[in-house]
Structures are given as C-alpha cells and as structure tokens.
Structure 1
Amino acid sequence: MKSLLKNAREQKGLKTRELAQLASIDQALISKFESGTRKPTKDQIIKLSQLLEIDYETLMIAWLKEKIFYEIGDEEFALKALLLAEQEIQNNRKEINSAIISSNQIILDEIETLKNKIQSFNHLQLRQIHKTLELDFIYKSIYLNGNSLTQEETKSVINDGSTVLGKSMEEHLEAINFQEATLHIKDLSQKKMAFSEKELLFLHNLIFKGIDKNSGKYKNDSLIIKEMNLFFNWYETQKNNLHPIILASEAHLKIITINPFENGNIQIANLVLNMILLLNNYVYVVAEGNIKSKNEYLFSIEESQNKNDKSIFINYVLKIEKQNLDKAIELTS
C-alpha cells in the first residue's frame, strides 16, 4: 500500500505538504503512510483514493491486507484462521440472501414463469409491450415527483412535442427529460454495459437538464462522496452474488438512504432499480399514478429504514414486478 500511495502522489506531481493540505491530514502522517510506519484510517483511505485517483477497491484491499497481516501475520495458525473467516463471511452473505429468497420462493417462481413466457413472444408482441410499458413508466415516474400531466398528456408531450395548456414549462421539460433517461437505461441494459458513477451522474443530468443548475452533481458534502464510493464498491462485489430483484431493491434503498443529490433522489433510485431489472430481462417497477399507490411505495421505504428490514421493500418490489409482468402479457391478448 505504501508504494501505491507514494507512486500515485508523485504521478500527480504533488509534494507531501500539498497532499496533506488537500486531504486535511498532517504532513508527517502522509510521510509515515508512504514509509509504512503508520497505517491510514478507513476515512483517510477513502479521501486519499479520491485525491490521488487510485482505484478505491485496489487501495481498500491493500489496506485490509496490511491490517490483517499486522494483527495475525506472525500467528502460527493465521492461514487456517483466514480460511475459516473467509468461509464464514461468504456463508453469512449467502444465508441472508437465501433467507429472503426462501421466504419469497413462490412469488419468485411465478415471476420467472411470467418472464420466460414474455421472452417467448415474437418481435411485434415484444415491441408492443415495451412501447406501452415505457410510456407507463415515464408517466408514473413523473407523477411520483408531483408532475400534474395526465398519462395522455404525457404521451402527447413526448411523442408529438405538444404543449399542454395550463401546464408549466418545467412539467413539460420533466416529461421529455425522463423519456431520455428511460431510453438511456434501456440502451445500457440492451448493450449489457457496466453501471458506474459516471452513468449515475449522467442520468441525474438528463432528468434535470434545463431545470436544475445542480444537475449531474452530488451535494457539496465530502461524506456523500465517501458513501457513494462505498455504494459502488458494494454494487461491484454483489452484482453477481445477489438475486437481481434483491440487488435492484437494495440499490434503490441505499441511494434513498444516502440521499446524494439536492433534488431527484427518488427518481434516480427508481432509474437505478429499473436499469438493473431491465439488465436481467424483467419489466419496469414503479408505483401506480395515484395517491394510494404513491403512499404505499413511500411507506415501504420508510418502514424498511425504520425497522432496518430491507425485506419490506423487497417484498413491495416483488409484488409490483409480478403485477406488471401480468399486465405485459395481457397487452398481447
């Protein structure tokens, strides 16, 4: 780790004094980190990773490796202990995921059956489904944000470029922008492109283009940067371990909890949730365009947070996914 830090600093053309000022860390400590005589804290690692543009995962693994080695490196049974610790970590993760899957096995099986049925449809049927569900998703998403356009008005604005009398320009822009964002997550999913921080900020910029001067920017808070780094690290480590619907639901909850933007956190959380679903051949999930459904959605988030029980929101997503798969099949009958 010491060479990672020193090499990165030198490549940036920074002196230890300059890095110390940028990171708000004592210069003597920076020197000790680079010589290996002191170990940074986790918060300092996050800060140095950002400032020196070192891959967070690479630096974090190096830091954890040294921390573990410092604690047990000289112990006779260190390797055996590490193997047991690794097994226990993996088992704990599997047990949590398995418990959620087991308690929802019936609806998960129903969802997979419906999903497979849709995938067997011909090109024209699939096009009809996607076109209808996309409009549905755009309308319900902007309704969730308080937009007063009806579904027909939304369709007229995004498909025909119409202007609806009595509706604000911001409401028109929001519909157009959300259509662009929806098409973008569809494109990402079809091309199987990686989800990254760059894409997240781009999505935020899309939905607030011409509406908010802070579009595509996090809040001016160093803690937000740290938490979002941790979010993307979590996503990369879990994207191949968790069931896609569980992954999507948890990603949504994490973004809502972090609350990284001044505006649009619910919209971004829903776009990320649905991007992950589309990537795995599921259909859109969003609350219906009415007060009762909106309140049910918000209540499921609040209850999950208050009770620290992610299964509450996961159950909500599973229910809506099944409903929308049923609706997709009805569109072809």
Structure 2
Amino acid sequence: MKMLLKNAREKKGLKTREVAQLLGIDQALISKFESGSRKPTRDQVIKLASLLEIDLETIMVAWLKEKILYEIGQDEFALKALIIAEQEIRHQSKSTTKKLSLALQKLLHEIDNLKAKLDTFRQYDSYRIAQALDLEYTFESNRIEGNTMTLRETDLVINEGLTISGKSMREHLEAINHQEAIAFIKDLMQKNIPLHEREVLAIHNLILRGIHPQDAGRYRKVQVMIKGSTYMPPQPYMVAKEMEVFFIWYETNKNKIHPIVLAAEMHERLVTIHPFIDGNVRTSRLVMNLILLQHGYIIANIKGDYDSKMQYYQSLETAQTKNNKDDFILFIAQTEKESLERYISIIGQ
C-alpha cells in the first residue's frame, strides 16, 4: 500500500506537506504511511483515496491485507483461520444482500433492452434533439420545486436571454443555473471524471449561484426541515460525516449493482442527508442523472405535474421514514424507461 500512496501523490504533483495540510494531519504521518512504518486508520485511508483519486476498493483491499498480516503474522493456525473466516464472510455477504423484486428485475430488463435499441440509433442523434430534451429537463426539474415558468418561457430565458415579465429574478436564475448544471454533468461524463465530493459541491454551486451565493457549494451550518414531510434531516454537525459515508457507499457499490439502482440509491441517500441549505433535491437529481449518463443511459426526466410530483415525493418519504426504498427505485426505473421510449421515438423515426 505504501507504493500505492506514494505513486498516487506524485502523479497528482503533491508534496507530503500539502497532503498533510489537506487532510489536517501531521506531515510526518504521511511520510510514515509511504514508508510503511505506520499504518493509516480506516478513515485516513478513505480520505487519502478521495484526495489522491485512488480506487477505494483497491486501496481498502491493500490496507486490509496488511492489517490481517500484521494481526496474524506467522501463527501456525493462521491459514486455517483465514479459510474459516472467508467462509463466514461469504455467508454474511449472501444473507445481507438485498434481492431485487421481480417487478424491478422485469423493469430493469426492459430498460436494458431499450438501451440496446437506442445504441443502434445513436448515429441519428443530434445536438438539436439533446438541446430540446435538456430544456425540458430544466423546465420539469424546476417545476417540481415550484418554479412557475412555462416551457416556452424557460426557452426564452435560456436561449434568447430575455426577461419574463411577472417572473421573479430567482425563477430566471433557476432556469439559467440548471441548464448550466446539465452542461457541467455532461462535461464530467465526456471527460470520464469520477464522482467525488468536489463534483457534488460544484453541481450545487451552479444550482444556487446568484440565489444564495454564501451557501452555494457549501454544506449547511444550521438545522433544516423539509416542507410537507415528517422526515427530519440530520443535525448540521453530522453532515460532513454523513457525506463521507455517502461517498464510501458509492465507491463500495458502484461496480456491484445495476446502474439504475445505483443512481436511484445515490439520489435518495443524498437528499436524505439534505446537506445543503437549499437546492438539495435538484442537486440529487443531477447526481442521479450524471451516474445514468456515465453508464450509457439517458437523463431520467421526472415530470413536474401534480400526480408525478406526488408519487415522486411520497415514494421518497417512504424511503426516508420507513426504510423501504422499493417504491422509489421502481419510480426512478419507470421514469428512465419512459424517457428512453420517448428518446427512441424521436430519433428512430
């Protein structure tokens, strides 16, 4: 693991002093980690992985291997103990893995068939189609949050630079900001930039730019309540730790579960932490759609009409208050299926 850390640090052009400052620990510790004379804690390994952009699974396996070897050394019963431990870990893993419902399995199969069909039409895609669908996404996403602009008005603000009489400055900024946030996540996808804390904060910064500049891209420092919901988000002092767990979960599961389930889970987990003073749900949807785009799917555009919005929020609250995410994941999967069907109908004509 020591060479893994050193190579990653040098690749990023960072000195041990700079890494220590960013992690808030002593410089001598970084040197000891790299020499192998001192082992980092689990939390330190996770922070190093994020800072140095090392695959979490790779570094955790290396760290655990060294930890196991240190604990058991050359004990004569070590190998037998490891074999029994492996069997126990495999048993626990099987018992804790949640099986997908038959309804969700069927839906995911239909989605993947649609994705395969869409891939055969990709050559007929065009910037104009993408631009129109991105505009619809901005309109619907803002409509869910109470923005009163019509689709046409949203178009005039974004593409013509016009000011709509009777609409607030905030509504204008919400349209402009969201459209720029879509461009940002598409750029992340095209450049194959992995999802880390920096990217989530950057998305949120775009969403609240000019609306709450002092809070844009920053975790909240006060307690919040969610209007119309019985769920109470964590206290502000817990947000940073909850976000750390959020990214650990992502790194641990990003290659293990279906991308649709992964995207829905990340949406639900982020909005449940509610790390920002405002713009949490929009940011969560954008993070969800970034993951979908990274896996070759398209933006799941949740509609802002009353029925769709109620189903969306009710399934989300069930996930938050009853620890049952089935309805929410199904809702997201159904939304992606409908978005794929519409996209294919447009470019496949």
TM-score range, shorter chain: 0.7 to 0.9
Say if 2:271 is the partner of 1:256: yes
Check 1:307–1:120 CA distance in 2 against 1; reply closer, same or farther (3 A cut). same
Residue 87 of structure 2: aligned partner: 84
Cα pair 1:283 1:321 within 8 Å, conserved: yes
Say if 2:247 is the partner of 1:232: yes
Percent identity, aligned pairs only? Answer: 42
Say if 2:312 is the partner of 1:300: no
Deviation at 1:192, TM superposition (A): 2.3
Deviation at 1:86, TM superposition (A): 3.8
Residue 106 of structure 2: aligned partner: 106
Q: Equivalents in 2 of 1:143, 1:168: separation in Å?
A: 14
Say if 2:338 is the partner of 1:323: yes
CA RMSD in angstroms, aligned pairs only: 4.1
Q: Deviations over 1:179-235 (max 9, x none)?
A: 000011112222322111111111111111111131011123442111111211211
Deviation at 1:85, TM superposition (A): 3.5
Deviation at 1:113, TM superposition (A): 1.9
Paired residue secondary structure (2:304): coil
Q: Which runs of 5+ in 2 are unaligned?
A: 2-15, 19-23, 26-38, 222-235
Cα pair 1:181 1:207 within 8 Å, conserved: yes
Cα pair 1:46 1:226 within 8 Å, conserved: no
Q: Equivalents in 2 of 1:60, 1:281: separation in Å?
A: 28
Q: Equivalents in 1 of 2:55, 2:113: separation in Å?
A: 39
Q: Where does 1:182-221 land on structure 2 (aligned, <5 Å)?
A: 182-213=182-213, 214-220=215-221, 221=236
Counterpart residue identity of residue 216, structure 1: G
Residue 29 of structure 2: aligned partner: none
Paired residue secondary structure (1:201): helix
Q: Equivalents in 2 of 1:226, 1:320: separation in Å?
A: 31
Cα pair 1:205 1:215 within 8 Å, conserved: yes
Counterpart residue identity of residue 216, structure 2: S
Counterpart residue identity of residue 146, structure 2: G
Cα pair 1:251 1:273 within 8 Å, conserved: yes
Cα pair 1:46 1:56 within 8 Å, conserved: no
Cα pair 2:261 2:329 within 8 Å, conserved: yes
Counterpart residue identity of residue 181, structure 2: A
Q: Where does 1:170-185 land on structure 2 (aligned, <5 Å)?
A: 170-185=170-185
Q: Equivalents in 2 of 1:242, 1:106: separation in Å?
A: 15
- The alignment covers a number of residue pairs equal to 318
Q: Equivalents in 1 of 2:288, 2:186: separation in Å?
A: 12
Residue 119 of structure 2: aligned partner: 119
Check 1:260–1:91 CA distance in 2 against 1; reply closer, same or farther (3 A cut). same
Moved more, 111-120 or 68-77: 68-77
Cα pair 2:315 2:325 within 8 Å, conserved: no
Cα pair 2:292 2:298 within 8 Å, conserved: yes
Q: Deviations over 1:291-315 (max 9, x none)?
A: 2211110101111222212222111
Q: Equivalents in 2 of 1:218, 1:128: separation in Å?
A: 36
Q: Equivalents in 2 of 1:313, 1:109: separation in Å?
A: 18
Counterpart residue identity of residue 114, structure 2: L
Q: Equivalents in 1 of 2:193, 2:44: separation in Å?
A: 31
Deviation at 1:170, TM superposition (A): 1.2
Counterpart residue identity of residue 305, structure 1: Q
Cα pair 2:301 2:339 within 8 Å, conserved: no
Check 1:72–1:144 CA distance in 2 against 1; reply closer, same or farther (3 A cut). farther
Counterpart residue identity of residue 274, structure 1: N
Check 1:56–1:245 CA distance in 2 against 1; reply closer, same or farther (3 A cut). closer
> Which TM-score applies when normalising by structure 1?
0.78
Residue 144 of structure 1: aligned partner: 144
Check 1:126–1:105 CA distance in 2 against 1; reply closer, same or farther (3 A cut). farther
Counterpart residue identity of residue 200, structure 1: V
Deviation at 1:90, TM superposition (A): 4.5
Check 1:66–1:227 CA distance in 2 against 1; reply closer, same or farther (3 A cut). farther
Q: Equivalents in 2 of 1:302, 1:64: separation in Å?
A: 37
Moved more, 77-86 or 309-318: 77-86
Deviation at 1:78, TM superposition (A): 2.2
> Which TM-score applies when normalising by structure 2?
0.75
Cα pair 1:72 1:78 within 8 Å, conserved: no
Counterpart residue identity of residue 205, structure 1: N
